[in-house]
Structure formats: C-alpha cells, structure tokens
Structure 1
C-alpha cells in the first residue's frame, strides 16, 4: 500500500483546484512551483481518507463534505517553525511600549490584553508572558491575559498541552526553565502559573474575529508572508482597529507594511509599528466568506 501510494502524482488541474481552495478559504497563495511540495505533503491524506488519487481528493475538497478536510489541508501546507524568545528585539520594544503606564494600570486593576495571532506551537505567547512577568511581577494582581490563535488545530492542541522537548526549549535560560516549567524525564511542561495567562483558540484570520476588546499589543509574525499583497492590505486596517490607542503591532523579520501611515501605523523599529490613528477601510470582520472559530 505504501509503495503504491508513493506513485500517486498530482496533475496541474488537480493542483489548481487545491490551490484555489487554499486561497479562497485561508488566503494561502500557492504558486505552481510549489506543486511537488503540495504533492509530497498531501499524499498521506489520500491514505488517511482511503482515496485512490488526487483527482478524488481535489473533487472532495471543493465540496461541502470537504469542510473538515480543509483544516487538515492548511495544516499540511503551512510550516510551523518557532522558538522561545524569537526576535528578542520585539520583546524589548513591547516592554518599552508598556512600561511607562504599566504600574499605574496594575494599581488601577485595568485590563491588559495581548494577542499572538499565528501562535504556532505556543512558544511566542509563553515567551511574551514570561518576559512581562519578569519585568513586572505585579501583573499577577491585574486582569492580564494573552490570546493565542492559529488556524491549525494540531498546533493549538500542542500549545495547549504545553509539553516541550529539549530541542524546542532552546533559547530558554535555565532560570526561566526553573521558574516557568515543570521538568519531566523527556520533556518540560509549562507551569500552571504561566499557563493561566494564555488562552489558545483556533482562528482563521480571514474569517470573523470574535474578540470584543482591543489589544495593547498584537504579534502576527511570519503569518502574512503566506498571503498575497491584496489580502495583506485588507488585514492591516483590521489589525489597526483591534489595537488600543498607541498599541503596538509586530510582524515577522521578512514582512512589512508598505505604507504604514495609510493604514494608521507608524514604524517604531524593525517590523514593529505603533497605532497612531484609526485606519479607514475594512472593520474587524471577515474578509471573504470563511468560517472562523473563536
């Protein structure tokens, strides 16, 4: 069976259907040069679904019956690579942005909210929580929460469990491991004290955003690189609308807002922006017709 499966090939018409579904549902722009990658990553789905070829798969995918399979599709076509304290200058900028008013807000018991959009395996939101709790331990005395979302249900499940092997813990200082993790024989688990500040949810960024409150900071790093320019430009005003006054917005190292002022942002550092005015354009609802999960 496995030998036969490896001979199943993906034709261009089948690729076009899969690429069209990926773009329509998730905003993923897959160019024809990625055809062999798509073929390799989706062969296991044929076996899982007991389908004979990619023709049957592509036809099933683009029907109402293929809704559940589309979640597996996005998991297969995206790469979840992350590590703790990635791009540390962003965490420095976050502290710098929040520090001037942080103590007063804690004393007033004000809400402090941060969104990790595209949280992958969870290292980013846990890193945010660790850094802020180290800078200001009294955050425990106020309403401090981090929302962590991703389109991939597999990584949401992994991040919620919070169990990391030594390779995934690279970059975490020993003192942080002692403070924020429970050591097990072959891995470490995020402590209950850290875990309580982070909530994980499945969310498609192109769908409706169910959040009712604005955020002091939004991290959306190494996510929009999968989107074309048109989709990115529709997302910028939505992120702006979801930020509180002078909130900060972080992108990945290879991502940029071409005209930040037009979208209500100003640059404050490498791939880091501050909300300066409310952007005009699409409100914080869905871009196309996708269904999202809060």
Structure 2
C-alpha cells in the first residue's frame, strides 16, 4: 500500500512544536512513564496535533502547560494512547509459547503440586490477547485437573483504553488459532468476531499499572511476560525495570520478553532460551 500521500497529508496538518516544548513533553513522559521519545519528534507532532487542536489549544505550548500543571487522568490516558502502539494478536511469537508449554509450565506445575497455585503476570497486556492466550495454554496443560488449581493471572497495562478492550474480550481471530481452541475457548458473536469464553475471562484479572512504579503485589511471580514494551525505554530505564521484575520473581521463575528486545548486560536474570530468562 502506498502511504506517501497519507504521510504527506499528516505532515501538512501537523502543528509545529518548539524545541523547548518538545523537551518539556519528552522529559515529562519519560520521567513518569519510562517512554523515550527523544528521537520521535515527527511522531509526537503527527500523533498529537489533532489532540491539541481538539482540546481547543492554538499551540503545543498551551497544551504542554496544561498537561504539566492540570492534566487529568483522562488527558494522560489520551496522550499515552496516541504515543504508543497497542498492537498485538493471538499466538504472537509462538516460539516463546512453545517453550512456555514444553518447559516452563511443567516446571512450575511440578513446583506447585502442594499449593496448586500459579502466579503469572502479563505486564504489558495491551488489548488482552496475551493473557487470554496464556490462560488457554494453562487450561490445555492441566486438562481435567484445571478446576483444582488457582491459575488466575494478573494482566496490566498503562492504557485504560487498551484495558477496556481487553475486558470485553471480543476479537477477530487469526487463522493460527487451533480449531479446538475456537470451539472450547471462544463463542461467535456475529460476523467474524468471537468473544473469549467465560472460563478464560475469569482466569484473568486486569489492572491499570505503570511499570515505572514499585512492584508491590501480594505474591511474587512464577512467570512474567513483558513483551514489546522495553522497545520504548532507554538503557537505564530497562535496567531499573529488569531489577524490579527480578525482585518480583520467585527463585527459579521466568521472564519472557520479545524477540525484538534484549535485556541490558547488567541484568540479574540468566538467559535460558531466545527472549526467555530465569532467576537463578
């Protein structure tokens, strides 16, 4: 598809942002949410110009002044939704799921035979496909024993819009979804859309969470999925997040990131497979 005309049109309607306002906005977003926008000036102006105009401001100066002094939760949510890409899908990077089902799941299930309680966190769940996907793998693995286990997993994201979509659990399914999963874990709701079955929905607890905040949940995690989020962070932010996640992982627990990412050299985790790390 030729997007040159669209790009030119977007550029033509974009507002101009001064160096001062760009640096103020970049510093605010990075300090509060970890997202590094220093090399994203064109993205900032193209994606936020309509927002600035829609709020009635004549310049980025007025918008940034408002955001830094009086910006509400809705304003921040709109900002983050515009600047980040909540793009995900079922069966994404299936090689990681293969390792999860062949190695990680048998390991943590064996370790929890007594308490029958798994602790898993999808730390940047976007519109929900990942935690639902993980839940389906868990249900398949446990089979008839699933009802005897507490497998409820935490799924968090900074974006309220993404979480609202995730809670609805309605998607157009890719061809990579196994036919048996379509039958067992989804129900058709019209057209090409399917809704996640109640038994899978009930296995996921959604929560808004900023990954820059301290990680203080009730339990430490057997597995943390944090895929396609560190691409937005600079090295110091990645290092600090990896340390916080390490501290929130049980000994022997796992961290799964995306193939497009890597942990900093100072990470306390040990790499055990492509994009998969363990706390040893």
* TM-score by shorter chain over 0.5: yes
Do residues 179 (structure 1) and 184 (structure 2) align?
A: yes
Do residues 256 (structure 1) and 262 (structure 2) align?
A: yes
Query: How far apart are 1:23 and its partner, in Å?
Result: 0.7
Q: 1:265 to 1:163 in 2, by over 3 A?
A: same
- Matched residue SS, 1:149: strand
- CA-based RMSD: 2.0
Q: 1:10 to 1:112 in 2, by over 3 A?
A: same
Q: How does 1:26-45 map to 2 (within 5 A)?
A: 26-32=33-39, 34-45=40-51
In structure 2, the gaps of 5 or more residues are: 1-9
Do residues 237 (structure 1) and 243 (structure 2) align?
A: yes
Query: How far apart are 1:150 and its partner, in Å?
Result: 0.6
Do residues 144 (structure 1) and 151 (structure 2) align?
A: yes
Aligned counterpart for 2:169 among listed residues 155, 158, 162: 162
Q: How does 1:115-126 map to 2 (within 5 A)?
A: 115-126=121-132
In structure 1, the gaps of 5 or more residues are: 277-294
Do residues 266 (structure 1) and 273 (structure 2) align?
A: no
Aligned counterpart for 1:18 among listed residues 20, 25, 31: 25
Could you tell me the TM-score, scaled by structure 1's length? 0.85
Question: Contact 1:94–1:248 at 8 Å: present in 2 too?
Answer: no
Q: Distance in 2 between matches of 1:267 and 1:247?
A: 12
Aligned to 2:81: 75
- Matched residue SS, 1:144: coil
Q: Distance in 2 between matches of 1:206 and 1:119?
A: 15
User: CA offsets per residue over residues 114-137 of structure 1, 9 Å max, x none?
Assistant: 000111111111110111211222
Question: Contact 2:36–2:233 at 8 Å: present in 1 too?
Answer: yes
Q: Runs (4+) of structure 1 moved beyond 4 Å?
A: none
Question: Contact 2:235–2:264 at 8 Å: present in 1 too?
Answer: no
Question: Contact 2:163–2:208 at 8 Å: present in 1 too?
Answer: yes
Q: Report the number of matched residues.
A: 266
- Matched residue SS, 1:121: coil
Q: Distance in 2 between matches of 1:100 and 1:20?
A: 42
Aligned to 2:71: 66
Which moved further from structure 2: 46-55 or 177-186?
46-55
Aligned to 1:280: none
